[in-house]
Amino acid sequence: MARRGKRRDRPGPIGFLVVDKPIGWTSHDVVDAARRWLGIRRIGHLGTLDPLATGVLPLAIREATKLVPFLEGGEKVYVGTIRLGVSTNTYDAEGEVSYRHEGALPDETAVRAALAGFVGEIQQIPPMYSSVKKDGVPLYKLARRGEEVAREARSITIHRAEMHHFSETEIGIEISCTPGTYVRSLAHDLGELLGCGAHLSGLQRTRSGCFEYAQALPPETFEAAGEARTLEDQLIAPDVALGFPRVSLTAAQARKIANGGDLAAADARGEWEQGPAPRPGLRVSAMSPAGELVAILELRPDRRLHPLRVLAGA
């Protein structure tokens, strides 16, 4: 008997949607919802958010999933609140209380000075309740079994850590950091440094790389657009998200690139002609005569543009 093949997604435009993730939703919940809105399966997200967190969660639609590696390294910005005097086993408000401080809490000057000490390149140990794996097993699964294991510290960079409000038991923060930073761990470590304990009581991501909160819309807006069949009109074009200089290909050049060939830089017409001579390592968006993204190309020392990623529609 013939095997039934996988159902293929209907063809359509590619690009990105920016969802304002609600509290209580996992990142996978958002992806599952987007699959219903669009009626397709090929959707991925950029940068996991905890269920407690809200804010910017970019989604890659169709072939845009191939472009995720070119967008994952951007700056992350968060605003949040940290509760002083209480630590939890998850480092956030969803966990069980593991320590409650009985004495006086530190004053604003002490908290501000301690927070400033985290700015720069630091080593951070991920929380047990995280998706980081130990011997192939996610840490959160071990934590749910009551196990705690040694975790390797990771190098992260906190570009900016500001306190925008202070009360005796809670502070408001804004953090700019590299991908892979756990703001929960930052809150916990701040409490340890101050000697009073602390946990993250609320968090919103306001930027993820090139995607900003001003672009984010709630799920119900996207759901309504999906029902009206206008959702694909709201996609952020992939070349816009990437922000690379564009080169315009002829039909013959587009076919060559689609087949894995390269292109002499001198034959590429595009935005870089308006500036200084491009240097090796530069990445560009190769656009078809119809104005669609064909591939990501990289300039090599031999002055040729080599394809790093070719899209299936090329």
Active site residues: 50
Question: Do the Cβ atoms of 285 and 296 come closer than 8 Å?
Answer: yes
Output the CA–CA distances (angstroms, integers) from residue 43 to 3, 14, 148, 273, in the order listed.
25, 10, 34, 35
The string over 45-84, giving b where at least 16 C-beta atoms fall within 10 Å of a residue's C-beta and e elsewhere, is bbbebbebbbbbbbbbbbbbbbbeebbeebebbbbbbbbb
d(CA 45, CA 210): 14
> What angle, rounded to 10 degrees, do the helices at 27-38 and 219-227 form?
20
107: tokens are 């004053």
Question: Do the Cβ atoms of 80 and 68 come closer than 8 Å?
Answer: no
Question: Do the Cβ atoms of 186 and 193 come closer than 8 Å?
Answer: no
Residue 196, judged by CB atoms within 10 A of its CB (0-12, 13-18, 19+), counts as: buried
Other C-beta atoms closer than 10 Å to the C-beta of 182 total 23
Note the maximum CA span of the chain: 74
Question: Do the Cβ atoms of 3 and 227 come closer than 8 Å?
Answer: no
Question: Do the Cβ atoms of 13 and 232 come closer than 8 Å?
Answer: yes
